[in-house]
Copies of this chain bind each other. A is one copy, B any other.
């Protein structure tokens, strides 16, 4: 038997076997079937292929390198500093063109005071002392903000956190910061397709780069006006120049590598991250650092310190957030989408069969025709 079976198998290997169909001259079911087929086809062609580009292999893990350069000078005339001209090296931290950088808009000096009180503002995240009784002179409130210290001599004092500074300035110290500009160079590479682009490639004329500013009319100019960025991010310079903030500069690359490479262009968008981040729970952004102004606190207010208190820096933190995806034709996803789409046709047939052989008046008749019983 088995042997005959194998023999038959081999013989019939090159006979063409095709399913035998029962043709039910029933236009209703026929129409239903064609309809379902059409729907599946439409889904496959229009939605999967035309709209969703289901024939493409997609790479979303891009490599990115960002270089930034801030330009601008500001002149300040304050009692502490006298006349002073600020330039990039003074107000950008760090100054080496990182993709995350900070622009000073305010300076808060915290001289080495001896601080006994420990009233903390409500909205300080990890405050320990909500009232004076909570902490005791002589011990450092490590997790707090260094209040509650009793220290011999003025040169060793607690350094209050910015939140403690009672005398907040009412005017941003560096108003001019609004008019500074950033030049952003962004290099991206899609490793899967070994395809590299950057955001100044398309710009052929140097003159354009000399004069342009990014705006809806110049969506590809890589030079941005700080004030505008803040406005586009949904807030105003003055509103948060005093408190500081975190601004996200989103650079999105959405590339169809089946088209010309020059079509692959960045799309810039801006958002404020800090209040999104914190919904009134300690929004704003500030940090304290060793004096950013060279040799300044030493001579600040004419006092000479052994150990100058750090300077409180309030300002904008700019954060480049680059992402993107590239798609390119690839046979595998194409086959997967076509194949699984066709497989669904089987479902259509299954449904129509049910209708035909169970739900129609003549179902019994069709059933007998469709299923040929053997004994």
CB distance from A113 to the nearest CB of B (A): 12
CA distance A252 to B161 in the complex (A): 31
User: Across the interface, which residues of B come within 8 angstroms of A192, CB to CB?
Assistant: 60
CB < 8 Å: which of B209, B279, B288, B357 contacts A126? B209
Question: Are A295 and B294 in contact, CB atoms less than 8 angstroms apart?
Answer: no
CB < 8 Å: which of B13, B19, B127, B151 contacts A20? B19
CB < 8 Å: which of B225, B276, B295 contacts A307? B295
User: Across the interface, which residues of B come within 8 angstroms of A198, CB to CB?
Assistant: 276-278
A54: Cβ under 8 A from any B Cβ: yes
CA distance A342 to B246 in the complex (A): 51
CA distance A141 to B282 in the complex (A): 36
Question: Are A14 and B1 in contact, CB atoms less than 8 angstroms apart?
Answer: no
User: Across the interface, which residues of B come within 8 angstroms of A48, CB to CB?
Assistant: 332
- In chain A, positions 91-130 with a C-beta closer than 8 Å to chain B are 93-98, 100, 102, 122-127, 130
CB distance from A255 to the nearest CB of B (A): 14
> Which stretch of A180-188, A232-240, A257-265 is in the interface?
A180-188
A301: Cβ under 8 A from any B Cβ: no
Specify how many copies of this chain sit in the oligomer. 3
User: Across the interface, which residues of B come within 8 angstroms of A338, CB to CB?
Assistant: 340, 343-344
User: Across the interface, which residues of B come within 8 angstroms of A337, CB to CB?
Assistant: 332, 336, 340
CB distance from A303 to the nearest CB of B (A): 13
Interface string of A165-189 (1 = CB under 8 A from B): 0000000000010011101010101
A256: Cβ under 8 A from any B Cβ: no
Show 24 residue pairs from A and B whose CB-CB distance is below 8 angstroms, ordered by the A residue. Answer: A15-B23, A18-B349, A18-B366, A18-B370, A19-B19, A71-B143, A72-B143, A73-B142, A85-B159, A89-B159, A89-B288, A96-B317, A98-B100, A126-B223, A185-B274, A187-B248, A187-B276, A187-B277, A189-B321, A290-B294, A294-B308, A338-B340, A340-B343, A342-B343
For A120, give the chain B residue with the smallest CB separation.
B210
A361: Cβ under 8 A from any B Cβ: yes
User: Across the interface, which residues of B come within 8 angstroms of A15, CB to CB?
Assistant: 23-27, 30
Interface string of A1-23 (1 = CB under 8 A from B): 11011101100111111111111
User: Across the interface, which residues of B come within 8 angstroms of A141, CB to CB?
Assistant: 73
CA distance A2 to B364 in the complex (A): 10
A369: Cβ under 8 A from any B Cβ: yes
Question: Are B344 and A344 in contact, CB atoms less than 8 angstroms apart?
Answer: no
A375: Cβ under 8 A from any B Cβ: yes
CB < 8 Å: which of B5, B156, B317 contacts A85? B156
